[in-house]
Chain A
Amino acid sequence: GAGVSQSPRYKVAKRGQDVALRCDPISGHVSLFWYQQALGQGPEFLTYFQNEAQLDKSGLPSDRFFAERPEGSVSTLKIQRTQQEDSAVYLCASRLDRGAFNEQFFGPGTRLTVL
């Protein structure tokens, strides 16, 4: 497919477990974004990569959250020692980066439930 893909689509973790969420952006897209969407809320910005460089991680809620994009393509969002408040849908988006207002394309998200 040509869109942004995310895996797994659903993840159930016990409190205290570590999880890793994967994002495959659209091929050739330079920028990649992670968002957290709690139930009944709009997405909230977590972090932004331009190629392999993480240019903004101001939205990461705590030092338990870590994101990487080592080769400037696939990205992984890792959450250590998960807590119940981490339960949310995690959305990934990518952007081509041609022009000032070009579109972010979103993946379907990973729904994380922490028990």
Chain B
Amino acid sequence: TQLLEQSPQFLSIQEGENLTVYCNSSSVFSSLQWYRQEPGEGPVLLVTVVTGGEVKKLKRLTFQFGDARKDSSLHITAAQPGDTGLYLCAGASGGSNYKLTFGKGTLLTVNP
């Protein structure tokens, strides 16, 4: 069974602070995705990382895929209240990468 562990589970910070969320697995995934989910809504894809060592930037968010393609991190610079939400990582496997295995998520609260 492939498992993804996320840490921390909860994170409460002040506006303007930086933070890093981690996603670790003992398994290799063909790609890894990060989602953000807000209450009462489904997850929304932020980024997909495919190549070991890959780094992708999305405005104030920086995503990194580990060299061995087993772990990933999400770094947010100068967090804003609008960043509040549940951040989920998901590993893709199976033919056409259809099967997503999600971590439990990191619940981020950014206080104004």
Contacts and interface: CB of A to CB of B under 8 A. Distances in A.
Nearest to B89: A42
A48 B98 contact: yes
Interface in A64-105: 91, 93, 95, 97, 100-101, 103-104
Interface residues of A, number: 25
Nearest to B100: A45
A45 B101 contact: yes
Interface string A34-45: 010000111111
A115 to B, nearest CB: 21
B68 to A, nearest CB: 19
B8 to A, nearest CB: 14
A42 B88 contact: yes
A89 to B, nearest CB: 9
A101 B105 contact: no
Contact of B42 (A95, A97, A109): A109
B42 A101 contact: no
A95 to B, nearest CB: 8
Which of A31, A35, A91, A101 neighbours the largest number of chain B CB atoms within 10 Å of its CB?
A101
A44 B2 CA distance: 12
Interface of B: 4, 6, 31, 40-45, 48, 50, 88, 90, 92, 94, 96-105
